[in-house]
């Protein structure tokens, strides 16, 4: 099983266990909302652009509400379990695009629950997450008001954020650094060092793609 499929399956198992009304780290979204988002992303290409483009967000939101109205939660989870659209036809594309998507959303659900703890991930998944983060760090940190230096435990450095002014050092596993850069700063198990004001600013910055 690929990492994308493994994370997808684990997330769906968690959906089944928690039900439709559990919280997530996606602001304002329950598990039902997140499942609808994932189905929309793969199976409603007409509504996909609104995920990233604000002028189209209203249509995307209406399609997502429609999916919830049409499908009971277990049906939506069933649709999420099997890759849809091009991801179902091209497994390598599923692995290339969805490993990060499903890892992050799996953690969005896990870390919104009481008493969560970080998982011990396979070494090859940690290496893959770092490889992707190393390539995307500048993009993901582009809205940081301060410079950011990512230090991966075990080796590896990536830089992003503001070019001038104070810098914040962020240290942790690749998986935790990735969550930090995806805008989950307050739920990432990382160590931050630097000017306290700069640390506060990057902690609340709108990071991510």
pLDDT tens per residue, range 174-199: 999 999 999 999 999 999 999 999 99
Q: Is the pLDDT of residue 209 over 90?
A: no
Which candidate, 2, 7, 1, 5, places its Cα nearest to that of 175? 7
Per-residue pLDDT reduced to its tens digit, 73-110: 999 999 999 998 888 888 889 999 999 999 999 999 99
pTM for the predicted model, two decimal places: 0.94
**Mean of pLDDT over the chain:** 95
């Amino acid at each position: 099983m690929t990492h994308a499929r493994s994370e997808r399956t684990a997330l769906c198992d968690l959906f089944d266990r928690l039900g439709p009304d559990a919280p997530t780290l996606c602001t304002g979204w329950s598990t039902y909302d997140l499942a609808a988002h994932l189905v929309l992303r793969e199976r409603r290409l007409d509504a996909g652009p609104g995920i990233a483009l604000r002028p189209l967000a209203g249509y995307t939101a209406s399609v997502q509400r429609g999916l919830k109205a049409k499908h009971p939660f277990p049906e939506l989870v069933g649709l999420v379990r099997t890759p849809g659209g091009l991801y179902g036809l091209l497994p390598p594309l599923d692995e290339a695009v969805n490993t990060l998507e499903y890892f992050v959303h799996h953690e969005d659900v896990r870390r919104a629950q009481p008493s969560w703890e970080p998982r011990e991930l396979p070494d090859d998944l940690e290496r893959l997450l770092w490889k992707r983060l190393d390539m995307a760090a500048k993009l993901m940190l582009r809205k940081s008001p301060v410079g950011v230096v990512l230090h991966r435990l075990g080796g590896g450095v990536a830089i992003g954020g503001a070019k001038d002014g104070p810098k914040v050092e962020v240290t942790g596993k690749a998986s935790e650094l990735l969550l930090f850069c995806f805008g989950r700063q307050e739920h990432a198990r990382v160590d931050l060092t630097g000017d306290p004001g700069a640390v506060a600013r990057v902690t609340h910055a709108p990071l991510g793609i």
